[in-house]
Chain A
Amino acid sequence: MSTEVQIEAKNLTIGYGDYVLIKDMNFTINKGDIFIIMGGSGCGKSSLLRVMTGLVAPLKGNIFVDGTNFTSASAATKDKIMQKNGILYQSGALFSSMTLAENIAMPLQLYTKYSASQIKELVSLKLALVGLTGFEDYYPSEISGGMKKRAGLARALALDPETVYFDEPSAGLDPVSSKLLDDLILEINHSLGTTIVIVTHELSSIFAVGNNSIFLDGASKSILARGNPRDLLQNPPNDTIFEFLTRGEGKNAQKTK
């Protein structure tokens, strides 16, 4: 795997107004990484994702995508970069007034000049990739939560993105569906070389798919640890991260030692 840098955050401070969530973050995400953003509830993971995908401006600092400053880019450049992102929202965020096929076709209609039949083929390919062949004409309200997420992933993949962002992909899924989604993420990463950024607290996913990570801490408003999650478990740099990665057993385990 090459080690080209895909995304780089420099002195990034995020928050809302006067309310700072995380201060002075620095991290890099290489091309082809599966990068995990972890941390306790409410520490600002989703907010960081919103900053990285350009929905919210950071309070301070910059994000570079492929060497281009994304934060201070002009609207046109920003749009270009955003087209190379696929995002799977926590709830799937499918447009409820459209069928699955229409949902997935939308980015294609927006940014490509493909013919209707070409788009139709692409849509069925993307749906097949996520295992939803035959659901073209279903509305989002007619499918289950797990299927919505997969359909959302199909839409995120519509334009063959360079980076796919996931906000809590396994939230609300049963263990089996969640495992299937993890497998799908790995598959996409391996086959297409897509860089993947995932916000999650699901430990099994973290260890199953992640090869790089940052751990955000709300109390100190900083990045508390970084690196491959499996290495972090082997050599935990501090108690908080050890506790997190062992579902809070860490402290007790140490006490009984």
Chain B
Amino acid sequence: MKQELDFSTSGETLTLNVSGDFVSYDNEELKSRLYATAEDNNIQCISVDAQKLGQWDSTFAVIIFELKKIALKHRKTFKTLNFPQNLERLINLAFSVDRKPAQPETSSGNFFEKIGAWGINLWSSVDKGLNFIKKSGSSFFRSVTGRSFMRSIDLSFAFEDCTYKALPIVSLISFMVGLILAFVGAVQLKTFGAQIYVASLVTIGMTRIMGAIMTGIIMAGRTGASYAATIGTMQVNEEVDALKTMGVNPIDFLVSPRMIALVVTMPLLTMWSDFMGMLGGGFVGVTMLGIPFQKYWELSIDAISLDNFLVGIFHGLVFGIVIAICGCYYGIFCGRNADSVGSATTKAVVSAIVWMIVMTGIITVCCEVLGI
């Protein structure tokens, strides 16, 4: 049966006659005209007659719901005629919710108040972050000196995760980065006939910074994310609460083993990454430039300088700390639903990468000043 939403006004009364089946009804244009008429100040009474109503679903109920809301808002009379009983009850049910969600009081405020609030917010989160770093730092030293409660199995799990489980991906990416560096360099250097310097280019690039950066980014995505997700899930499951009420410091128990694992393994992974990058360069050297591998490797080793190598390792160490802190911070301060675990993970990875770049900048400036 064709549905019809037929409405007319006479004097102060809006009369709506519905007929037919209202299933998946979506005539937006007619609906908005109906609502506009109902809102009109001249209308004092809205009356709906459902005598000829056939089947209906929520798309029809919502029209009645909206009309009744308009009527209540503007204190108009709302009359229903010949309504099927279930529809009547549904509408009554919709209006019987008597409690509104309790809103924490928020001041809307003007522009300056907003800036002020934003500043206070920013400061409190900086404060929270610094506090966390301080706490995890002291917890780190306590655990290194064996004065905190930590399960050795957690530590070994953490180590497992950052060692052999991370090796394949670190190897692959580093090899590819070395290869790309060599390739891009070779194309340029060839024009001067200086392709022999590809070896030094790759070696210096990898050991000084690229090895550490690539390892850092991989570990942020792999391990940092998993820290945030694991600890965040424990927060959701009230496991962190259980730890606290048991008198266990969650930072000692959850953060320190992970931090120790990353601080120890990141420099090692960085070294491995340097090595794989040099191999990648060698691949290009041998296949594209026709340098014998023996020779290429000798050139590479010659290009290693202790300064560069140590600066690279230091980067790795700092990145390890950054990744552990970001991952654990967002895990510990994760909200209490599944949603917040997702956002904690994202934030952990993004902030770890941002902070790694910031730290690289700082270290580079320091090296410049110190003349390294």
A: which residues have CB within 8 A of B?
Answer: 16-19, 42, 50, 53-55, 79, 82-83, 85, 87, 89-97, 106-107, 110-111, 218
A89 touches B242 (CB 8 A): yes
* Cα–Cα distance between A106 and B247 once the two chains are bound (Å): 11
Could you say which of B149, B239, B244, B247 contacts A95, with CB atoms under 8 Å apart?
A: B239
B238 touches A97 (CB 8 A): no
A54 touches B245 (CB 8 A): yes
- Closest-by-CB residue of A relative to B242 is A93
B160 proximity list for chain A (CB < 8 A)? none
Check A82/B237 contact, CB under 8 A, given A18-B104, A87-B242, A93-B242: no
A96 touches B246 (CB 8 A): no
B102 proximity list for chain A (CB < 8 A)? 42, 218
Q: Within residues 230 to 252 of chain B, which ones have a CB less than 8 A from any CB in chain A?
A: 233-234, 237-239, 241-242, 244-248
Could you say which of B104, B105, B149, B241 contacts A93, with CB atoms under 8 Å apart?
A: B241
Could you say which of A17, A42, A79, A91 contacts B247, with CB atoms under 8 Å apart?
A: A79
B105 touches A19 (CB 8 A): yes
Asked if B123 is at the interface of the complex by the 8 Å CB criterion, the answer is no
Interface residues on B, range: 10 to 19
Q: Within residues 192 to 240 of chain B, which ones have a CB less than 8 A from any CB in chain A?
A: 233-234, 237-239
B154 proximity list for chain A (CB < 8 A)? 97
Asked if B293 is at the interface of the complex by the 8 Å CB criterion, the answer is no
Asked if B35 is at the interface of the complex by the 8 Å CB criterion, the answer is no
A55 touches B245 (CB 8 A): yes
B234 touches A96 (CB 8 A): yes
Check A93/B247 contact, CB under 8 A, given A18-B105, A19-B105, A87-B242: no
The residue among B104, B237, B244, B248 with the most chain A CB atoms within 10 A of its own CB is B237
A16 proximity list for chain B (CB < 8 A)? 104
30 pairs from A and B in contact (CB 8 Å cutoff)? A17-B104, A18-B105, A19-B104, A54-B244, A54-B245, A55-B244, A79-B247, A82-B245, A82-B247, A83-B247, A85-B245, A87-B241, A87-B245, A89-B238, A90-B238, A91-B237, A91-B238, A92-B237, A93-B237, A93-B238, A93-B239, A93-B241, A94-B239, A95-B239, A95-B242, A96-B234, A96-B237, A110-B246, A110-B248, A111-B247
Asked if B157 is at the interface of the complex by the 8 Å CB criterion, the answer is yes
A83 proximity list for chain B (CB < 8 A)? 247
* Cα–Cα distance between A18 and B105 once the two chains are bound (Å): 8
Q: Within residues 79 to 116 of chain B, which ones have a CB less than 8 A from any CB in chain A?
A: 102, 104-105
Shortest beta-carbon distance from A248 to chain B in Å: 12
* Cα–Cα distance between A90 and B234 once the two chains are bound (Å): 13
B244 proximity list for chain A (CB < 8 A)? 54-55
Could you say which of B105, B149, B237, B238 contacts A110, with CB atoms under 8 Å apart?
A: B149
Shortest beta-carbon distance from B308 to chain A in Å: 40
Question: Would you give the 0/1 interface string for B59-96, flagging 1 where the beta carbon is closer than 8 Å to chain A?
Answer: 00000000000000000000000000000000000000
Which 8 A-B pairs have CB atoms at the shortest separation, nearest pair first? A93-B238, A89-B238, A93-B242, A19-B104, A79-B247, A93-B239, A53-B245, A87-B245
B242 touches A97 (CB 8 A): no
Could you say which of A18, A55, A111 contacts B241, with CB atoms under 8 Å apart?
A: A55
- Closest-by-CB residue of A relative to B157 is A97
* Cα–Cα distance between A194 and B247 once the two chains are bound (Å): 20
* Cα–Cα distance between A79 and B243 once the two chains are bound (Å): 12
A89 proximity list for chain B (CB < 8 A)? 238, 241-242
Could you say which of A18, A94, A106 contacts B246, with CB atoms under 8 Å apart?
A: A106
A42 proximity list for chain B (CB < 8 A)? 102
A111 proximity list for chain B (CB < 8 A)? 247
* Cα–Cα distance between A85 and B247 once the two chains are bound (Å): 10
* Cα–Cα distance between A53 and B246 once the two chains are bound (Å): 10
Shortest beta-carbon distance from B238 to chain A in Å: 4
- Closest-by-CB residue of A relative to B103 is A19
* Cα–Cα distance between A2 and B102 once the two chains are bound (Å): 41
* Cα–Cα distance between A218 and B154 once the two chains are bound (Å): 42
* Cα–Cα distance between A20 and B248 once the two chains are bound (Å): 29
* Cα–Cα distance between A203 and B132 once the two chains are bound (Å): 43
Shortest beta-carbon distance from B138 to chain A in Å: 14
- Closest-by-CB residue of A relative to B233 is A96
Shortest beta-carbon distance from A177 to chain B in Å: 20
A110 touches B239 (CB 8 A): no
B237 proximity list for chain A (CB < 8 A)? 91-93, 96
A107 proximity list for chain B (CB < 8 A)? 246
Beyond the given pairs A19-B105, A110-B248, 5 more chain A to chain B contacts, judged by CB atoms under 8 angstroms and listed by A's residue number, are A91-B238, A93-B238, A96-B239, A97-B157, A218-B102
- Closest-by-CB residue of B relative to A43 is B102
* Cα–Cα distance between A19 and B246 once the two chains are bound (Å): 28
A106 proximity list for chain B (CB < 8 A)? 246
* Cα–Cα distance between A29 and B241 once the two chains are bound (Å): 23
Shortest beta-carbon distance from B253 to chain A in Å: 9
- Closest-by-CB residue of B relative to A155 is B242
